[in-house]
């Protein structure tokens, strides 16, 4: 039990179903769907659609989705990749002719990959849901049409992104009404987005990827010089994928395969598995050092290999082989840093993670994202769609596996996860925070397995992350520990914003135990 002398929250317990999201309205809407007879898939899509309205800096219909679904009836885990592709006619040469040579600007229309999350919603519901799409999307439509109250953490991000929101006039009109930044407690309306959601509810896939809505989105992007066309949207497709997995101290961890970075999370866990944590305190210098070193090594592989597997060979089996992991683990020195690693991509994009378990013990682990805060900052005024900027993850070096090419998916950061123990459901979990996610998953999982923390405490616990030459520590890591890390050669900094977010639902016998990250506005709710 937590120490109730200090602020915090207890884990949530339930027998008949559990939802955990980053926003109370999404959690409530999702649990309502379970109460109406919906299953975990229905409830997860409801949560994702509500978050697309009430957490606009993190997700939306203009973004992507990855999902793992553990179906209780056959004890099988399936994966879904609903990440968008670059427009078919784009190329490195065309971008160079426009003066884009080093990287794709994050607020450029060329950073907009085709939004494919909606295709994922629809396929999941058609193949695995219990309820009709209209009922599932009804809460999101209502919040978009009738308004929702801006929550605290969201308001803070909103204020930090005013300059970005003001750059595109249509984005400014939507997110800076009357030229003012919305504050916590203000009511925000998105009537155009409500109409788009109604179209999806009524016509399914065609209501978004064809007809007037698709034409409007293409028109907006083309007006800014993009290479998108109607065919790119019509061909947007969510695909089922076979999950990849690895073991950590008897627990089997499942991830979506590349183009997502789930393999990197597994690499970090496997490297750390070789160290005995029994005598290592959870907030100690040594633990944080080992996590940082494992992350450096795994990320160096990410930026060398990770790309769309349809266009490049990603050596997943080799990266996770015991022999290779042993070799990588041997690079770590206990008393000093082994190497410096400087990723090429920016830190802390925004994402929402959703965990749902229903009465039958079907589990859904789902992530919806527009990448950076408010994505590309580009809005289609007629549909209310805010476009993601995931295409900025491509590189412009044709020798790199993640180089941009028409119809190709970029390297993706979002990674939902499911864990089993003795071939039975154990955890549905995920950690938000862009590039932090693999390290975050390893940290939260270790909190549970190595230190016996419940889901809520595992999320509450202080975090650190090695990035861009810095070991960024939250304020919860003591000063003496930060000094000792510096003595090992780490360049230590207290981070401005905490690392990521996250949700966890644990299966423990006949009960469910849920937690939701205090770094966000959300909560876990049980039936």
Catalytic residues: 351
Q: Sign of dihedral through CA atoms 77, 433, 185, 107?
A: negative
Angle separating helix axes 133-146 and 191-203, nearest 10 degrees:
170
DSSP letter, residue 345: S
Give the span between the Cα atoms of 94 and 137, in whole angstroms.
39
Give the span between the Cα atoms of 347 and 359, in whole angstroms.
37
Chain CA centroid to CA 16, Å: 26
Q: Would you call 333 helix, strand, or coil by DSSP?
A: coil
Number of H helices and E strands in the chain, helices first, is 19, 21
CA angle 421, 424, 425 (to 5 degrees): 90
Buried b (16+ CB within 10 A) or exposed e, 288-326: bbbbbbbbbbbbbbbbebbbbbeebebebeebbeeebbe
Give the span between the Cα atoms of 474 and 273, in whole angstroms.
24
**β-strand partners of 513:** 13, 506
Instruction: Output the CA–CA distances (angstroms, integers) from residue 276 to 280, 325, 394, in the order listed.
Output: 8, 16, 38
Write out 132-188 in H/E/C secondary structure: CHHHHHHHHHHHHHHCEECCHHHHHHHHHCHHHHHHCHHHHHHHCHHHCCCCCCCEE
């Amino acid at each position: 039990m937590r120490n109730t002398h200090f602020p915090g929250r207890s884990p949530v317990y339930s027998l008949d179903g559990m939802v955990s999201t980053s926003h109370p309205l999404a959690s409530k809407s999702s649990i309502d769907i379970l109460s109406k007879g919906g299953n975990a898939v229905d409830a997860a899509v409801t949560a994702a659609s509500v978050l697309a309205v009430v957490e606009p800096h993190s997700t939306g219909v203009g973004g992507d989705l990855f999902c793992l679904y553990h179906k209780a009836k056959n004890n099988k885990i399936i994966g879904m990749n609903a990440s968008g592709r670059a427009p078919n006619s784009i190329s490195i040469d065309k971008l160079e002719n426009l003066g884009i040579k080093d990287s794709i600007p994050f607020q450029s229309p060329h950073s907009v990959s085709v939004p494919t999350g909606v295709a994922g919603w629809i396929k999941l519901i058609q193949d695995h849901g219990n309820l009709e799409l209209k009922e599932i999307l009804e809460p999101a439509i209502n919040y978009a049409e009738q308004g929702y109250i801006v929550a605290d953490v969201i308001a803070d991000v909103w204020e930090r992104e005013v300059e970005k929101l003001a750059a595109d006039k249509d984005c400014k009109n939507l997110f800076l009404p009357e030229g003012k930044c919305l504050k916590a407690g203000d009511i925000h309306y998105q009537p155009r987005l409500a109409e788009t959601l109604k179209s999806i509810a009524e016509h399914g896939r065609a209501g978004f990827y064809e007809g007037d809505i698709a034409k409007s989105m293409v028109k907006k992007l083309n007006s800014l010089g993009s290479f998108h066309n109607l065919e790119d949207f019509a061909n947007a497709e969510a695909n089922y994928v076979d999950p990849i997995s690895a073991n950590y101290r008897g627990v089997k961890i499942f991830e979506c395969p590349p183009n997502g970075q789930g393999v990197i999370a597994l690499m970090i866990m496997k490297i750390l598995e070789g160290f005995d944590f029994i005598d290592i305190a959870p907030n100690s210098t040594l633990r944080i050092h080992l996590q940082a070193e494992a992350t450096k090594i795994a990320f160096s592989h990410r930026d060398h290999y990770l790309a769309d597997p349809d266009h490049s060979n990603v050596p997943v089996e080799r990266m996770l082989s015991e022999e290779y992991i042993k070799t990588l683990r041997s690079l770590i020195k206990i008393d000093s840093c082994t190497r410096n690693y400087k990723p090429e991509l920016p830190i802390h994009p925004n994402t929402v993670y959703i965990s749902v378990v229903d009465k039958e013990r079907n589990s859904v682990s789902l992530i919806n994202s527009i990448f950076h805060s408010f994505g590309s900052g580009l809005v289609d005024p007629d549909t209310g769609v805010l476009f993601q900027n995931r295409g900025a993850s491509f590189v412009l070096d044709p020798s790199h596996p993640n180089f941009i090419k028409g119809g190709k998916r970029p390297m993706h950061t979002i990674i939902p996860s499911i864990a089993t123990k003795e071939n039975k459901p154990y955890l549905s979990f995920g950690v938000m925070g862009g590039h932090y996610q693999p390290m975050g998953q390893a940290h939260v999982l270790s909190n549970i397995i190595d230190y016996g923390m419940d889901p809520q405490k595992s999320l509450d616990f202080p975090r650190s992350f090695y990035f861009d030459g810095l070991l960024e520590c939250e304020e919860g890591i003591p000063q003496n520990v930060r000094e000792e890390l510096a003595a090992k050669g780490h360049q230590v900094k207290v981070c401005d914003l905490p690392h990521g977010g996250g949700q966890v639902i644990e299966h423990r016998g006949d009960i469910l135990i849920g937690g939701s990250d205090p770094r966000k506005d959300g909560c876990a709710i049980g039936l």
